[in-house]
Amino acid sequence: MTPAAVLRVGFVGLGQIGKPMALRLAAAADVSLVVHDVAPEPLRELADAGAEVAGSVAELASRVEVVCVMVRDDEQVREVLAHVVGSAQAGTVVVVHSTIAPQTPGQLAGIAEGHGVVVLDAPVSGGAIGAADGTLAILVGGPDDAVARVRPVLELMGSKVVHAGPVGAGTRFKLARNMLHFVAFTAATEAQRLAEAAGLDLRALGEVVRHTDSITGGVGAIMHRETTAPLAEDDFWHGVFSHVRALGEKDLAFAVELAESLDVDTPLARLALERLGPGLGFRDGAGAPPRPPKEK
C-alpha cells in the first residue's frame, strides 16, 4: 500500500467508548492515527497499539484530515472544535460521536464553515461492547461528499453506518433511538416491581426477557412501516397489527389487573393499554378486540 492510500485520522476522547473505537482505528493498516486525551493511561495504551500521541487538540488537528470527537457533553465538544478550527487545514472533517443537544450540530457546522472545516454529527449506538468488537451503529448527519469521504473510517468502528440526512439528522436519529431505549428501561423497572410483588424471581424474569427478545427482535419487531399515519384496512400491516393489538391489550389488561390486586402502581402499563392501538395506527377504536366485562 502506498502512503497516499493512508488516511490521517485524529481521535479526541478516549473514554469507555472512545478508547475501543480508537483502538480499532489504530489496528487498521490504512489509517494513520493521532490521539489526544486529558488522561494519561488511555494515551499509553493507544501508543502501545501504534497510535501517535498529540500534546493538544490543536496539535492533533494540524496533523490529520479527519478528527473524530468522543467527549462528554456539548461544552466539551464546543471546546474541542474551537481548538480544531484554529489549527486544521481547510477541508478537514470533524466527526462528532458524542450525543449532544439537537440544535448543537447545526451551530457547530456554522462555526466550522467559516474556517473551511466540515462538521458531521455521528453519534453511536451499541455501547462499549459494540465499540470493542466493531459492531456499533453509527448515525451520521451531514453533506453527502463528506460522509462518503469518512465512511471507510466509520466502517472500521461500526457494522451499521446510516446516513440519516443533513447535519443534525444523526443526533435526532440517536435521540429517537435512545428515547425508546430508556422508556423501555423504565417499563422494565415497572415489570420488575410487579414480578417482585407477585413473588417471582427477578433474575429469571430478566433471563426470559433477553431470551425472547433475541428471538423476536424486541420492540424493534414492530418498526417496519415508513410512516406513522393511520392504517388503511387494505394495508398488509393492518392484519398483522390487529393481532398485535389484540394480544397486547389482553395481556396489558391482565397485568394491570394483577398490579391493582397487589397494590403495585403501573402507570406505563396503563398508558400503554390506552395508547397501543392508536400508536400502531388504528383510529377511533378500529381494530380493537372485544373486551369481556370485568368481574365484580
Q: Which three cell numbers stand for residue 204?
A: 429469571
Contacts of residue 105, defined as CB under 8 A and 6 or more positions apart, other chains included, come to 96, 119, 121, 141, 167, 168, 170, 171
How many other C-beta atoms are found inside a 10 Å radius of the C-beta of residue 281?
A: 20
How many other C-beta atoms are found inside a 10 Å radius of the C-beta of residue 71?
A: 23
User: Comparing C-alpha atoms, which of 64, 39, 61, 3 is closest to residue 47?
Assistant: 39
What's the count of helices (H) and strands (E) in the chain, helices before strands?
Answer: 11, 9
Is 91 in contact with 116 (CB distance < 8 Å)?
yes
How many other C-beta atoms are found inside a 10 Å radius of the C-beta of residue 17?
A: 22
Residues noted as catalytic: 174
Instruction: Return d(Cα 171, Cα 104) in angstroms, integer.
Output: 9
User: Comparing C-alpha atoms, which of 151, 146, 91 is closest to residue 120?
Assistant: 146
Give the containing element (helix H, strand E) for 244.
Answer: helix 236-261
Burial class (CB in 10 A: 0-12, 13-18, 19+), 98: buried
